[in-house]
Amino acid sequence: MASVRHIKTGLLIAGVVLIAFLVYRIGAGAIVGVLGQLAWWKFALICVPYAFITAADTLAWRYAFTHASVPYWRLYGARLAGEALNLVTALGSVGGEAVKAWLIRRDVTYEESVPSVVIAKTTIVMGQAIFLLIGIFLASVALPVEANVIGGMLWLLGIEIVAVGGFVGAQVTGLVARMGKLMARFGLIAAPEYAAQLDESLREYYRRDWRRLLLSVGFHTLGWLLGAVEAFLVLWALDIRAGILTATVIEALGSGVRFASFMVPASLGAFEGANAAAFGALGLGAAAGIAFSLVRRARQVAWIVIGLVVMGAMRWNETASATRPESPARLRRRSAGGAPPSNRPG
């Protein structure tokens, strides 16, 4: 784990250096000039679509369960909190995904929630690949995009297809169970037996719940498409003359870059560089690409704060519920044997 942190730290420094180089090369004055078009109320409007993106992604996560027994709004809050932690912790996506399962432990056991998190991470990449394919199609037939941009998007699509194929293959062929001892040795799971249980849950889902799988992929794809709406709002707020098709291509390219640069914390530098190149290729100017990236980062920070507040509220509510005395009706149900079993681990 220490070596991974060192690698991420090095990549983070490299990302900051790349952003500084881009600002120097393009010119800070040109970037500030584009950002000067952004009013506070426009920024507030830009932050709104993410609420709907999270709503779609939460529905996708709900269908990653074999049985949707968790209240939707608890899932929504857990996703907001987990995604916020994914961006601010040095552990990368592992920290946030674990917190998602932890925040819903009062409704489902870890044996149910952990497979759903793994499946949801798989289906969101499937939806991302579909969205990138849509972006490639639009770039090819509807926009004057340079061939090297389309070629780069095709390479990114290939990377995503290989990655998701390997990820699904590992889940359905029993690789998780076979690697149980290794995962336990590195502290990723408590015991090798749990890997076998997780492996069985994943394989049963893919074997029997393919309708729920399709719905999960579909809602994640909707979330990516709503991301294109957010990108269009950013372009509008910065007074950049571009339509929804252009915004879709820009967002599709950005999503592919973020996936390919997953080892870089928050894809810092990679995202900015890709947008500078894409905006230049589309005739919008590299300065507009950097300004676009900075506004998206600012929106990201706003929702990180919201996610952390939600996590604090959910933890406080959990603590208050644990210390609150049971009602007489619940005590009667428990004495009669009708109380639901506890979902708390050990």
Domain ranges in the chain are 38-320
Residue 279 has pLDDT above 90, yes or no: yes
Alpha-carbon distance of 165 to 142, in angstroms, equals: 30
Candidates 23, 196, 1; CA nearest to 92 is 1
Q: pTM here? A: 0.86
Residue 185 pLDDT class (50, 70, 90 cuts): low
Residue 94 has pLDDT above 70, yes or no: no
Residue 93 pLDDT class (50, 70, 90 cuts): very low
Candidates 175, 169, 158; CA nearest to 259 is 158
Q: Tokens 């390997």 map to which residue?
A: 166
HSE of 337, CA atoms in CB hemisphere, 13 A: 0
CB contact burial 300-332 (16+ within 10 A = b; e otherwise):
beebbebbeebbeebeeeeeeeeeeeeeeeeee
Answer yes or no: are the C-beta atoms of 148 and 280 closer than 8 Å. Answer: no
Six-digit token string for 194: 């749990």
Mean pLDDT of 273-278: 93
Share of the chain above pLDDT 70, in %: 84
Residue 322 has pLDDT above 80, yes or no: no
Query: What DSSP string runs through 51-96?
Result: HHHHHHHHHHHHTTSSS--S-HHHHHHHHHHHHHHHHHSTTTHHHH
CA distances, 106 to each of 62, 83, 197 (Å): 16, 20, 20
Residue 90 has pLDDT above 70, yes or no: no
* Rg of the chain over all Cα atoms, to the nearest angstrom: 22
Candidates 83, 166, 161, 156; CA nearest to 117 is 83
Q: Give the model's pLDDT for residue 143.
A: 81
The pLDDT tens digits of the residues spanning 128-173 come to: 999 999 999 999 988 878 788 889 999 999 999 999 999 888 888 8
Alpha-carbon distance of 131 to 301, in angstroms, equals: 24
Alpha-carbon distance of 175 to 252, in angstroms, equals: 31
CA distances, 194 to each of 106, 189, 290 (Å): 20, 7, 46
Alpha-carbon distance of 15 to 19, in angstroms, equals: 6
Q: Give the model's pLDDT for residue 339.
A: 33
Residue 1 pLDDT class (50, 70, 90 cuts): low
Q: Give the model's pLDDT for residue 338.
A: 36
Candidates 296, 251, 235; CA nearest to 153 is 251
Q: Give the model's pLDDT for residue 264.
A: 86
Q: Give the model's pLDDT for residue 334.
A: 41
Q: Give the model's pLDDT for residue 52.
A: 98
